């Protein structure tokens, strides 16, 4: 007796088309991501002017036309690089396990994160330096820039409110000012470490030097928010 032939099911044209569309979309996203990663490295190394479309497409193993297709222009690509740079920092910060019931420890954790992030992500520093040389003209065109500053300030606001409620922090200090103090002291040290090392005659990148500066920033911020004598109102007005 001969075996009965087994019928093979074939995918419907609609299902096959959907699979092809999914593959194309995945390939397109991969190409876009590769361009963005390559652009981050190229702009960090060469700056905005030196980071040519040709260098970026070569680093991404892609084509110039794909940059224009996905990002519109070199400026559009640079803006997305800046947005992605801020987004990654926000994502990392959102993973902090902060216990606001212990505001002093929580604030210390925020400071360690920010200072450590600057240290571990030199591209973040160089990209922001580049944009500041251009007076922020690119990031000011971003529709998402404010999305990335608000969460960072909100984290500090919650910590401060807890500390103020417990009488551990002064009530006339704002989250904005504390955020700027942490960012300024951490960013300045890392962005100027090479010239400062030459000027001071000491290596500011040794583990001991970095640990000392982190401790100094923590001490400075905690002294700033601690209750007690401070400048009369009007001399150092806080902005809510």
At residue 237, the pLDDT reads: 43
At residue 6, the pLDDT reads: 56
Q: How far is CA 26 from the centre of its chain?
A: 25
Closest CA to 240 of 168, 164, 183: 164
Given a cut of 90, whether residue 230 has pLDDT beyond it is no
For the chain, the 3-state helix, strand and coil shares in percent, each to the nearest 5, are: 70, 0, 30
Domain ranges of the chain: 21-72, 75-225
The string of pLDDT tens digits covering residues 131-149 is 999 999 999 998 887 777 6
Could you please report the per-residue DSSP string of 37-85? HHHHHHHHHHHHHH--HHHHHHHTTS-HHHHHHHHSSHHHHHHHHHHHH
Q: Give the pLDDT band (50/70/90) at residue 94.
A: confident
pTM, full prediction: 0.80
Given a cut of 70, whether residue 1 has pLDDT beyond it is no
Report the alpha-carbon distance of residue 76 to residue 84 in Å, rounded.
12
Given a cut of 50, whether residue 72 has pLDDT beyond it is yes
Given a cut of 90, whether residue 109 has pLDDT beyond it is yes
At residue 28, the pLDDT reads: 85
The string of pLDDT tens digits covering residues 24-46 is 778 888 999 999 999 999 999 99
At residue 82, the pLDDT reads: 95
* Residue with more model confidence, 4 or 206: 206
Contact between residue 83 and residue 144 where contact means Cβ atoms under 8 Å apart: yes
Specify the long-range contacts of residues 204-212, CB closer than 8 Å, at least 24 apart: 210/119
Contact between residue 60 and residue 117 where contact means Cβ atoms under 8 Å apart: no
Instruction: Give the number of other Cβ atoms within 10 Å of residue 177's Cβ.
Output: 20
Q: What does each C-alpha distance from 154 to 44, 71, 195 come to in angstroms?
A: 29, 31, 34
Architecture of domain 75-225: Orthogonal Bundle (1.10)
Percent of the chain residues topping a pLDDT of 90: 74
Q: CATH assignment of 21-72?
A: 1.10.10.60
Given a cut of 80, whether residue 20 has pLDDT beyond it is no
How high is the mean pLDDT of the chain? 88
At residue 13, the pLDDT reads: 60
Residue for token pair 């699979």: 19
Mean pLDDT, range 55-77, rounded to an integer: 95
């Amino acid at each position: 007796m001969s075996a009965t032939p087994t019928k093979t099911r074939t995918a419907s044209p609609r299902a096959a088309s959907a699979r092809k569309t999914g593959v194309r979309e995945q390939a397109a996203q991969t190409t876009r991501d590769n361009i963005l990663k390559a652009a981050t490295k190229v702009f960090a190394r060469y700056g905005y002017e030196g980071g040519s479309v040709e260098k970026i497409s070569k680093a991404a193993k892609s084509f110039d036309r794909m940059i224009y297709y996905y990002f519109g222009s070199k400026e559009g690509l640079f803006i997305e690089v800046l947005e992605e740079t801020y987004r990654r920092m926000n994502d990392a910060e959102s993973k902090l396990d902060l216990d606001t019931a212990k505001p002093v420890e929580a604030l210390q954790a925020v400071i360690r994160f920010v200072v450590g992030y600057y240290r571990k992500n030199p591209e973040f520093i160089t990209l922001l330096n580049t944009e500041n040389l251009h007076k922020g003209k690119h990031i000011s065109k971003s529709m998402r820039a404010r999305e990335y500053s608000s969460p960072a300030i909100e984290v500090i606001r919650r910590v401060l409110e807890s500390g103020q409620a417990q009488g551990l922090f002064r009530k006339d200090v704002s989250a904005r000012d504390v955020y700027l103090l942490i960012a300024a002291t951490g960013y300045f040290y890392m962005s100027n470490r090479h010239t400062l090392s030459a000027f001071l005659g000491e290596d500011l990148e040794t583990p001991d030097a970095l640990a000392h500066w982190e401790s100094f920033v923590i001490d400075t911020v905690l002294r700033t928010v601690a209750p007690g004598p401070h400048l009369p109102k009007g001399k150092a007005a806080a902005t809510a």
